[in-house]
Amino acid sequence: MGRKVKIVATLGPVTNNRESVYQLIKTGVNVFRLNFSYGTHESHHKSFKLIRECAAELGKEVAIMQDICGPKIRIQGMKDIRDVNKGDKLVMSKTASGSAFSITYPHIIDQLEEGDEVYFADGTVRSKVEKKTDDTLTLRTMTSGQLREGKGVNIPKSGIKMSALTDKDKADLKFAAEIGIDIVAVSFVETASDILEARKILSDNGSDAWIIAKIERKAALKNLDEILDVTDGIMVARGDLGVEAGIFSVPGLQKEMIKKANEKALPVITATQMLTSMLHAASPTRAEISDIANAVYDGSDAVMLSDETAVGDFPVEAVEVMVKTLLDTQTHLPKIKKIKPDKAEGFAHAAAEISGDVSCRAIVSFSTSGYTVRQIAKFRPRKSLYAVTFDEKISHRLALVWGVERIINIDLDISENRMMYQFLQKVNKDEPYIVTMGSQSGVKGSTNMVRLLDDAAREKIFERFEK
């Protein structure tokens, strides 16, 4: 049994080279994240081509995910690094001057009131608004820490109005469409309309890339059901989510979000601080291993490495730790996840169930859009899952989906037997397979057949096409 849960790795200064990318893919990376908070379109395009080249050389399907930065609020106009102690006074203004600093979205100052809290640097420095004037807030710190230009700012108060897509994000989405990015992660999503806006930009520029909604705001939690109705997957972005909702709420929220996404057959990426200790250490802590394992038990399709592979001292070793943890953890999963199938999922559920009752090498899903593959994965079958598709774009994206161990590209044909024959040319011909297929080849959502491709069935196919 191969590895079911996928690994997302962030490309960064220490790994953005041919040797590292090649080694990371070989070690087990399924998806590369390009962080558009940094770099230029030119540098990201070079990374994109490098990943494609290395994946092709290794014969691996690897997805490339663009992570747009969104309206991340940052400190602006702070000339020097500033050490602050509990009880210190800070002045935040729409325009930085003297000791007063500003933020990248100064209009937010208008939406804050005395008593509201403002967090800096991933919540390590917390403060409260003590006094407000037209353009300035006087803050009193509640914790000690260090501030500097560019550090993140979080506003826990609900109802703060900000568009999820900045002008930079819109330009980045157009660029993603131009080069053929497989998956786009949209940051700081609050409503379904944020996803629809991003999808329209991609569509208008010729892209049907999957969209992953990063859940990291309180508003997104309130609107989670409507977001799930329009997105292609979610990321449990535990960094900013922990700051906004409170770190003690994150484990419970993680389980709730993953459960809801699993029920809709949507891929889930669990992210942030999974192997932080491996930034500078060659081995992880026991708690980190447990965190990865619990993400698997919760139902994650993928787990993500951020700084560990972008700027860490042991990027390949971090991926190796992920692989070993995921392989061991999945042996403790139930044979079939007990989720009641929707009416449209009957064939996918049947394939998953039958695979546990009959002898077969794998479940093979012939899929135009990847939807049936995601439906089968929803039920977490123990048998291997092979995806057979006619679209190279879909084959890349399926690298993110739980349990997909092989992705096989064939030519589209109106004859199901001829497509079966193409498939059999690329696998072990002497083993049985459970197959799902649609009556209308190449039509999304037409899957209406589950069959056992056993010795007798294979023999008939070979007799027909090898005369």
Distance in angstroms (rounded) separating the CA atoms of residues 47 and 457 = 45
Where are the chain's structural domains? 6-70+163-329, 73-154, 343-465
Q: Which of residues 191 and 333 earns the better pLDDT score?
A: 191
Pairing of strands 117-120, 152-154: antiparallel
Distance in angstroms (rounded) separating the CA atoms of residues 16 and 26 = 15
pLDDT band at 249 (very low <50, low <70, confident <90, very high): very high
Could you tell me which residues come within 8 angstroms of residue 351 by beta carbon, excluding any fewer than 6 positions away? 363, 365, 376, 381, 434, 436, 450
Distance in angstroms (rounded) separating the CA atoms of residues 250 and 456 = 52
Which strand ranges, in their side-by-side order, compose the sheet holding 384-389?
A: 404-409, 384-389, 362-366, 433-438, 447-453
The CATH T-level fold of domain 73-154 is M1 Pyruvate Kinase; Domain 3 (2.40.33)
pLDDT band at 443 (very low <50, low <70, confident <90, very high): low
Lowest mean pLDDT among 19-23, 54-58, 134-138, 447-451: 447-451
pLDDT of amino acid 438: 81
The pTM (predicted TM-score) of the whole model is 0.92
Mapped onto helix, strand or coil, the DSSP state of residue 379 is coil
Distance in angstroms (rounded) separating the CA atoms of residues 169 and 275 = 28
Lowest mean pLDDT among 38-47, 306-315, 453-462: 453-462
Distance in angstroms (rounded) separating the CA atoms of residues 105 and 94 = 8
pLDDT 10s digits, 206-222: 999 999 999 999 899 99
pLDDT at 447 over 90: no
Contact 351, 447 (CB under 8 A): no
Lowest mean pLDDT among 3-7, 158-162, 256-260: 158-162
Write the Ramachandran bin of 39: left for phi over 0, alpha for psi from -120 to 50, otherwise beta: left
The radius of gyration computed from the CA coordinates of the chain, to the nearest angstrom, equals: 24
For residue 213, the tally of other CB atoms under 10 A from its CB is 30
Mapped onto helix, strand or coil, the DSSP state of residue 120 is strand
Lowest mean pLDDT among 2-6, 7-11, 433-437, 446-450: 446-450
pLDDT at 102 over 90: yes
Q: Which of residues 244 and 443 earns the better pLDDT score?
A: 244
pLDDT at 336 over 60: no
Mean pLDDT value across residues 419-431 = 89
Question: Residue 437 is which amino acid?
Answer: M
Homologous superfamily (CATH) for 6-70+163-329: Phosphoenolpyruvate-binding domains (3.20.20.60)
Distance in angstroms (rounded) separating the CA atoms of residues 453 and 431 = 9
- The answer to whether domain 6-70+163-329 and domain 73-154 are alike in fold is no
Pairing of strands 145-147, 82-84: antiparallel
Q: What are the angstrom distances between the C-alpha of 397 and each of 159, 194, 448?
A: 34, 21, 23
pLDDT band at 442 (very low <50, low <70, confident <90, very high): low
pLDDT at 312 over 70: yes
pLDDT 10s digits, 341-350: 787 788 999 9
pLDDT of amino acid 153: 92
Contact 401, 380 (CB under 8 A): no
Could you tell me the two tokens for 42?
A: 């030119």
pLDDT of amino acid 181: 98
pLDDT of amino acid 145: 95
Distance in angstroms (rounded) separating the CA atoms of residues 28 and 335 = 24
End-to-end CA distance of the chain: 35
pLDDT 10s digits, 44-64: 999 999 999 999 999 999 999
Q: What are the angstrom distances between the C-alpha of 225 and each of 228, 241, 264, 299?
A: 5, 17, 10, 18
Q: Which of residues 313 and 334 earns the better pLDDT score?
A: 313
Could you tell me the two tokens for 367?
A: 């899929």
pLDDT of amino acid 55: 98
pLDDT at 440 over 80: no
Q: Which CATH class is domain 343-465?
A: alpha beta
pLDDT 10s digits, 2-17: 899 999 999 999 999 9
Contact 364, 433 (CB under 8 A): yes
pLDDT at 262 over 70: yes
Contact 186, 163 (CB under 8 A): no
DSSP 8-state symbol, 390: S
Contact 410, 423 (CB under 8 A): yes
Mapped onto helix, strand or coil, the DSSP state of residue 7 is strand
